Structures are given as C-alpha cells and as structure tokens.
Amino acid sequence: MPHSAVHKCYKQTLGVTGKVTLKFANNLAVPRDLTKSSDLAAASRYQDFILGIMANPLFLGQQCPSEVLATPNLNLTALTADQISYSTFDLSQFASEPAGGFASYINNSSDPL
C-alpha cells in the first residue's frame, strides 16, 4: 500500500500529471520438469508469492493469491475491499493475463515467452 500512497500523493496532492513507473525485480519461475504437475504447481506457487502479493491488488484490483493467504504461519491477512480499491492504480486496465492463460505458456516449451 505504500506504493499506492505515493502514487495518490503525486497525482492528487501535488497535482503532477507525469507518469509513474513501478518496476518489479521478478525472477520467472521455470519448472524443473515440464511433464511433472508438481513442478508446474511449484513454479506457479513461487510466482504467486514473489509477484502476486503485490501485483494482484496493484494491477488487477484483485485479492492476494488464495494459496498465499492459506499458507500456515504466514503473517499476511486478506486485504479489505477498501484496501484493494485504494491500491489499484489507474493503469490496472493495461494489465492482463496472456492469451490462453499462463498454463498454455508453461506447457509449451517452444513458445517465445
């Protein structure tokens, strides 16, 4: 939520009309074995943790990934609807899942992505 507070201050309080950039230093999770469902699930879980915690609310206007919230002994609570609404930037309309979903890319080793 600090990113959202800075963005809102920049736009609303200071009245600046320039662009705001937010960069994620994300290491793409690649399954060790594309034929093993457990490896595919592990790669997806890694992405949920490393990227989904911030990207879901900021860019998609969605809750943190359910698998993250269901992890035992993790000090992370679900965001309220107000928090998600506050956190979502105007650029959320430009964020989208790839055509065919992420699984289609994970399962296709010849895909250029």
Q: Model confidence over 72-96: pLDDT tens digits?
A: 998 889 999 988 887 776 554 455 6
Task: Compute how many other C-beta atoms are within 10 angstroms of the C-beta atom of residue 11.
Answer: 15
Distance of CA 62 to the CA centre of its chain: 9
Q: How many residues does the chain have?
A: 113
Residues of the chain with pLDDT under 70: 1, 23, 25, 89-97, 111-113
Contacts of 42 (CB under 8 A, 6+ apart): 29, 31
Question: d(Cα 46, Cα 67) in Å, to the nearest integer?
Answer: 10
